[in-house]
Amino acid sequence: MSMRAKPLFAANWKMFKGPRETEEFVGRFSSVYSAHPDRRVVFFPPSISLEAFVRSTDQRPDLEVGIQDVHEEVDGAHTGSISALMAAQVGLDWALAGHSERRREFGDDDALVAAKVGRILDSGLRPIVCVGETLEEREAGVLTEVLERQVRTVLASMDAGPLTWAYEPVWAIGTGRTASPEDAGQAHEIVRQAIRGGGGGELADSAVILYGGSVKPSNIEALMAVPGVDGVLVGGASLDPEAFAVICACPLGTR
């Protein structure tokens, strides 16, 4: 855990919850989770629900919000896409880039992810850059190589600034299978080294690196106790307000 950053608990709702369900969620979540000044909580609803989220959290400035993906260009004839600048106009704070579902389903490769991160930074939003290996890559022994490539391609295309990262092993996403604390700790160290080697220099020590992949109330404490795990990115378990409240309120021990 870096000394400076507050632990960050992020919810990635993927293609779940329209504006109505978003408002219902915020109502229930607000009644079971009170603001904790020692941590940050960030939600990534579907784009169509962002305004509903912003509106329904106007009394909860502790609940931050971001967009799940942006187009790599500022504007243009790209039917169905949203630019980072547009997202910033809605009053968002954050944007995800490089989630493995984007990489797999939409062909977001390292270069495209790097371009998106550039647009996100230009628009004043804060990116969370997702990296992670597939099961085949892990079994083939190329974990370090894959993570280094993913991290360095992003860093190579910009002046190294303070980015937030999420290490999400693809085999742990939505599978119920979580990386062991040892595996998570090892991968976070590889990501940190890659940041250091990729031009991130001393920023590597303070870089916030989240863990993602089947995080739930039963494993949050063990994961947050791992040195180098600065927070979590939660999919499935973030859809339930009570479960996500338990995750966000987890004891942080002596970190």
Which residues carry out catalysis? 99, 168
Amino acid identity, residue 118?
Answer: G
Judged by beta carbon, residue 181 or residue 197, the one nearer ligand PGA is 181
Report how far apart, in Å, the C-alpha atoms of 123 and of each of 82, 92, 95, 117, 190 are: 12, 11, 10, 10, 29
DSSP-derived secondary structure letter, 197: I
Binding site for ligand PGA (CB under 6 A): 12, 168, 173-174, 212-215, 233-237
* Chain residue whose CB lies nearest ligand PGA: 235
Report, in Å, the least distance between residue 254 CB and ligand PGA: 26
Q: Measured between alpha carbons, how far is 221 from 68 in angstroms, rounded to an integer? A: 26
Judged by beta carbon, residue 44 or residue 205, the one nearer ligand PGA is 44
Report, in Å, the least distance between residue 6 CB and ligand PGA: 20
Please give the structure tokens belonging to residue 250.
């987890």
Give Cα 106 to chain centroid, integer Å. Answer: 18
| Residue that has been written with the tokens 């998106």 in this structure | 116
Angle at 14 between CA 114 and CA 4, to 5 degrees: 60
N-terminal to C-terminal alpha carbon distance within the chain: 7
Report, in Å, the least distance between residue 5 CB and ligand PGA: 19
Cβ-contact 154, 216 below 8 angstroms = no
Judged by beta carbon, residue 52 or residue 247, the one nearer ligand PGA is 247
Judged by beta carbon, residue 197 or residue 217, the one nearer ligand PGA is 217
Adjacent-strand bridge partners of 12: 44
Angle at 225 between CA 153 and CA 128, to 5 degrees: 30
Report, in Å, the least distance between residue 74 CB and ligand PGA: 27
E-state strands within 72-172 = 94-97, 126-131, 164-167
Report, in Å, the least distance between residue 170 CB and ligand PGA: 9
Judged by beta carbon, residue 12 or residue 153, the one nearer ligand PGA is 12
